[in-house]
Structures are given as C-alpha cells and as structure tokens.
Amino acid sequence: MKEEQMRFKVIDDNGKEIECEVLFTFESDETKKNYIVYTDNTTDNDGNTKVYASIYTPNEENLNLKPIETEKEWKIIETILNELQEEAKSEMEDNG
C-alpha cells in the first residue's frame, strides 16, 4: 500500500513559489515539539537531495513553519534521518 505524498507550497525570499514534498513528521518526546522534514526535490553540488526541517503545529489550518534554533533539535532530526537512510539502504540490499 503506497502512502499518498503530502505536498505544500512555500514562497522563497525572491517571491517564487516552490512545491515541497513532506518526507515525514514526528513529535519529539524530548522537546514536546512537532517537526516536519521535507524536500523541494533539488540537489546540492554533490547530487544529494536537499532536505529541510522546521517546527510546525499539527492541525493548524495554514501550515506555519518555524525555524529550528537549537543544536539539540538538529541532532534529534539528524539521528532520525540517519536511521531512515540506513533502513532504506538495507532494504535496497535485501531486495537487490
């Protein structure tokens, strides 16, 4: 069963509308905040997909993204991303 991808649009600093795809959302027991991790499907100079993260409030009518400001919060997100990447890698090896 394929999960339907959630998408939303943001306006960049130049006023350009950019469509983003939600990779996942989660609530941290440690910080008691909700986080959204997403991509605009662009890549960096090394060919890696750019991934962004923000704080958000679930069930709000309009998605209001707030910046992540502490090193601790970035570490939590980084740990989850690394775990998901390892999981995806091992799945690919198992199926490959």
**For the chain, which residues make up each domain, given as ranges?**
7-95
Full-model pTM: 0.81
- Give the model confidence (pLDDT) of 67-84 as tens digits: 999 999 999 999 998 998
Surface-to-core class of residue 32, CB atoms within 10 Å of its CB (0-12 exposed, 13-18 middle, 19+ buried): exposed
* Cβ pair 38, 21 in contact under 8 A: yes
CA distances from 63 to 1, 9, 41 (A): 26, 9, 19
Mean pLDDT on 76-93: 89
Query: What pLDDT is attached to residue 20?
Result: 95
57 Cβ contact list (under 8 Å, min separation 6): 34, 64
